[in-house]
Chain A
Amino acid sequence: MALATFKGGTHPPEKKELSKDSPIEVLSEPEKVIIPLSQHTGAPCKPAVNVGDTVKKGQLIGTPEGFVSAAVHSSVSGKVTGIENVQLPTGRFSQAIVIENDKQNEWTNLKDNPDYMNLSPEELKNKIKEAGIVGLGGAAFPTHVKLSPPKEKPIDIVILNGAECEPYLTADYRLMIEKTSEVVEGLKILMKILGVKRGIIGIEANKPDAIEKMKEAVRGIEGIEVWALKVKYPQGAEKMLIKATTGREVPPRGLPMDVGVVVQNIGTAFAIFEAVRYGKPLIERVVTVTGEGIKNPKNLMVKIGTPVSHLIEFCGGFKNGIGKLVAGGPMMGFALSGLDVPVTKGTSGILVMSDSEVIHTEDFKPCIRCGRCVDACPMGLMPSMLSVLGEKGFYEEMKEYNLFDCFECGTCAFVCPSKRPIVQFIRLGKSLVKP
């Protein structure tokens, strides 16, 4: 049988071999953590502690403001030494709580719930909300919001996204291998909250052992299927994943719930299990530190707020002359401007690119209308036109080419023989005109 997939896409070098066989290691204790109050999509939190306060691990330090927001907790025990404005991996700035780590790892009171499957959907959702869980795939959208679809949008399928289509990253892969049953429990909780009978775990076919383990783990569980997906970028994009596994197409500017689907990332499912079972807030996540520019690529369990420099040191430091540091994968990740940036809830990887790997896009050439981007765009857009219009300053006209349907996966820019910074032009256009 042909593997499930979508139309368009491309094949960047996968590069998973650098880190895929390294089991998840717990990163050594950082001296201090810098925990931003805005790590998620939505309103930033208000500080719940003051400078000089002593905090415990797992203690609430940022109170969510409004519904679309997510609570922030301390990832260490120690003393609050400052509330500062810091730069996030995305380049934006946010207020952050700086905590000196006393390395005692003293937890706040956690409540074990072996009986969690007997909790009501509302109680389960509340636990997720209290734990400050957001989508760990990168966009960091508050999970409890995703789990509260309006009445007129009935949900009938939950999909766990194990595609991990970004090159290099292996964080979700390691979780699927090492925490298989916890991830499946996470899915079951999600299905219970949404009252859904069908769950799908979609995994790219380049992770056969993960597919096997998952299949093994769901054997006998009614309603949960494991799907092998074609290896193609961006297979893990929500809309593409839904299309591949259910055949449903999310309408333009629509959300998965418009077609009765909720998609959650593997890491999120694991965090959900931990929150519901142990009451553990989201204070750590798996981060893949990888690339040709790092000595020992690893998958690390990292406390939120740990400075990137600490991860680099733990992985043996740089090699090959460092050129670019990317938070996330090479297709959609953010280039970092410094090493003191903290790991946030949305940081799935730190990619260290050596000097020779860096593509200098300032030397881009004119569009030769080859149409490669048109064929490759998973959203059916015409990136070539968007880039030409953006380059010449015709921002309003970009809307005629469905500017706001682009989710910036970078496929167009990847395939462009003229090396045009298409995503940059598109972002520029989006920031200068109203939808």
Chain B
Amino acid sequence: MEAIKEKLIVSVSPHVRTEESVSRIMWTVNLALLPATVMAIYFFGIRALYVLSLSVMSAVFFEWAFEKFTKRPVTISDGSAFLTGLLLGMNLPSGVPFYLPVIGSFVAIVITKHLFGGLGYNIFNPALIGRAFLLLTWPRIMTTWLEPSGFTVDAKTTATPLMILKEEGIGRLLELFGDKANLYIHLFTGQRAGSLGETSVIAILIGGLFLLWRGYITWHIPLSFLGTSAVIAWVFGGKGVLFTGDPLIHLMSGGMMIGAFFMATDYVTSPMVRKAQIIFGIGCGFLTMLIRLKGGYPEGVMFAILIMNCFAPLLDRAFKTRVFGARKGQKK
């Protein structure tokens, strides 16, 4: 019996824990991005594969290097650096030179994530800061889009549907795609110019609904984000006349879908309290549409989410959960 005493472990309850873990969550989200990854490669060919693997590999490398350099435990197996790299790649045009994904990953992993304290402590979504840095530094490269021409060697450059909508109006967009039904089909499947992983609505929906079904995300942020955007697009998106906009075009183009399901829902940079998440989503939708309709850029998802990231802790404070037994409005 004495020998046992040496071995007994004493710690605070609870003595059982869930099977869930950070790495399981991260790898599940990576898995949920698989359909979008496959579609990216299908539409943008070998270039997509090249850009995506480069950004994933450099993100993982920078995490490893930073942690080695600062003598911290190496956490590359938890899948979070992989996810950041994958999301960054998904948000790049297919024709970017090799140094863009590498520099973007550096900004995302080293500056946005680790210099703020590593996983859990970053204020901003790392992949989006990476992309924002690239967009502001190389604005031309970052807005040069190639046609979704699969594995053909010389893809032509073209404009994204949102650029056309902003510069030339809905008429030109319909002219290019034939009719509205055809436009919707192209947007839904993803056969259009745009960032690698953002174009295929159906692929993103499959991944997003999978995460919803498994409980890794909840409806609060995506629904309030998309709903707000849809309402604003409908009310203010028309030509001079209120209530004539086309919400579907707005929902299915740009980074709206991947933003609502995969970027705005990032645990670390979004609120935890459900009510706060709804406000967060509404803010994302509002800012996105403000930029799209009134701003200088055709697309606003990235900036909208980054701006709302700043408010996440504040929203959690403002919408603190109600303590059991406390009456409504009762503050202690």
Contacts and interface: CB of A to CB of B under 8 A. Distances in A.
Partners in one complex: yes
Interface of A: 10, 12-13, 91, 167, 239, 243, 249-252, 254, 309, 318, 322-326, 330-339, 351, 353, 357-361, 365-372, 374-375, 377-382, 384-385, 401-402, 405, 408, 410, 413-419, 421, 423-424, 427
A330 B11 contact: no
Interface string B174-186: 0000000000000
B80 to A, nearest CB: 8
Contacts of A419: 17, 21
B273 A371 contact: yes
Contact of A252 (B9, B12, B326): B326
Interface in B107-152: 117-121
Given A339-B5, A379-B323, A417-B20, A370 B11 contact: no
Contact of B325 (A250, A368, A423): A250
Contacts of B294: none
A371 B273 CA distance: 7
Nearest to B321: A380
Interface in B147-170: none
B8 A325 contact: yes
A314 to B, nearest CB: 14
B321 A374 contact: yes
B1 A167 contact: no
Given A382-B272, A384-B272, A424-B12, A366 B120 contact: yes
Given A368-B22, A368-B119, A382-B273, A414 B14 contact: yes
B25 A331 contact: no
Contact of B13 (A254, A333, A380, A384): A333
B214 interface: no
B10 interface: yes
Contact of A359 (B10, B17, B273): B17
A252 B321 CA distance: 13
Contact of A351 (B11, B12, B15, B120): B15
Given A368-B22, A405-B323, A423-B12, 5 more contacts: A243-B324, A251-B325, A337-B10, A416-B18, A417-B21
Interface of B: 1, 4-5, 7-18, 20-22, 24-25, 117-121, 267-268, 270-274, 316, 320-327, 332
Q: Which 10 A-B pairs have the closest CB atoms?
A: A410-B14, A371-B272, A366-B120, A424-B12, A249-B325, A335-B10, A330-B16, A370-B267, A330-B15, A417-B20
Contact of B18 (A318, A334, A375, A414): A414
A405 B119 CA distance: 29
A102 to B, nearest CB: 24
Contacts of A359: 15-17
Contacts of A366: 117-121
A417 B8 contact: no
A366 B117 CA distance: 10
B16 A374 contact: no
Contacts of B21: 417-419
Contacts of B274: 371, 375
Contacts of B316: 382, 385
A249 B121 CA distance: 36
B25 A370 contact: yes
Q: Is the interface of B mostly helix, strand, loop or mixed?
A: loop
A92 to B, nearest CB: 13
A268 to B, nearest CB: 22
Contacts of B15: 324, 326, 330-331, 333, 335, 351, 353, 358-359
B10 A336 contact: yes
Contacts of A351: 15
Contacts of B120: 365-369, 418
A14 to B, nearest CB: 11
B272 A252 contact: no
Nearest to A366: B120
A324 B332 CA distance: 39
B22 A380 contact: no
Nearest to A367: B120
B119 A365 contact: yes
B265 to A, nearest CB: 10
- Which of A252, A254, A322 has the largest count of B CB atoms less than 10 A from its CB? A252
A332 B13 CA distance: 5
A377 B17 CA distance: 15
Contact of B326 (A251, A368, A415): A251
A423 B14 contact: yes
A332 to B, nearest CB: 5
A417 B323 contact: no
A419 to B, nearest CB: 6
A65 B165 CA distance: 83
Contact of B323 (A323, A402, A418): A402
Contacts of A379: 323-324
- Which of A249, A325, A370, A377 has the largest count of B CB atoms less than 10 A from its CB? A370
A423 to B, nearest CB: 5
A331 B16 CA distance: 7
Given A413-B17, A414-B17, A417-B22, A239 B325 contact: yes
Nearest to B215: A372
7 contacts: A13-B16, A325-B8, A333-B13, A370-B267, A371-B273, A402-B323, A413-B14
Contacts of A415: 18, 20
Contacts of B117: 366
Contacts of A371: 267, 271-274
Given A333-B15, A365-B119, A370-B272, A338 B323 contact: no
A13 B17 CA distance: 10
A385 B317 CA distance: 10
Given A254-B325, A368-B119, A421 B273 contact: no
B121 to A, nearest CB: 7
